[in-house]
Amino acid sequence: MAGSYIFMTRVIIFIDGSNFYHSLKSSFSRVNLDIELFCNYLVNNNDLIQINYYTAPLNQLDNELEYSRQQKYFNYLSKIKRLCLYFGRLEKRNNNHKTEKGVDVKLAIDLLSLAYNNKYDIAILVSNDSDFVPAVKEVQLLNKKVYNVSFPATKCYHLNRICDKTIKIDDVSQFIK
């Protein structure tokens, strides 16, 4: 039929990498997910525009084995179509505890700027960090929807309450690679 258009709902997935890793580990005692399969599941039948994955690389000198595993994982991620990998940095504190820097802020800025520039209709946020609540509220003011992904061991009341929808993941067996 001439002149008819089918509009697909455009989706961008925002993955807080460290948060995602710890949520999988504490909820399912495994982290070896097929990210592409998992993201396609989250998007359902909508149009996946891109997957933004935010994390901080480990320091090679701190733990050679963990560093090597993480580099293999980054290599795997780099081969996924439409996945963009964004790096912050790890910073050591006095008690030898490491904290990520530049990861959450970059994710929040991208969430907002991509909404402002009308690059998506729905954002899927894979994180249980309530620090994202203000950014989610601003995105919603731009008439965009934000869905949050929730895992059994790491539910986030504040995000679940403010997001337009919560996607509950109670089993990851179908996504194991």
CA-based radius of gyration for the chain = 17
Provide the β-strand partners of residue 147: 124, 165
DSSP-derived 3-state class of residue 59: coil
Residue 156's domain comprises: 10-54+115-175
**Is 19 among the domain residues?**
yes
**Is 42 among the domain residues?**
yes
Report pTM: 0.92
For 23, the enclosing helix (H) or strand (E) is helix 17-28
**Is 28 among the domain residues?**
yes
Model confidence over 119-173: pLDDT tens digits? 999 999 999 999 999 999 999 999 999 999 999 988 788 999 999 999 999 999 9
Domain count, the chain: 1
DSSP sequence for 109-135: HHHHHHHHTT--SEEEEE---GGGHHH
Residue 92 contacts by C-beta under 8 Å, 6 or more apart in sequence?
A: 98
**Is 38 among the domain residues?**
yes
**Is 32 among the domain residues?**
yes
Check residue 95 and give its pLDDT: 67
pLDDT for residue 97 is more than 90: no
Higher pLDDT among residues 11 and 157, named by residue? 11
**What is the CATH number for 21?**
3.40.50.1010
The residue-averaged pLDDT of 23-35 equals 92
The residue-averaged pLDDT of 56-60 equals 89
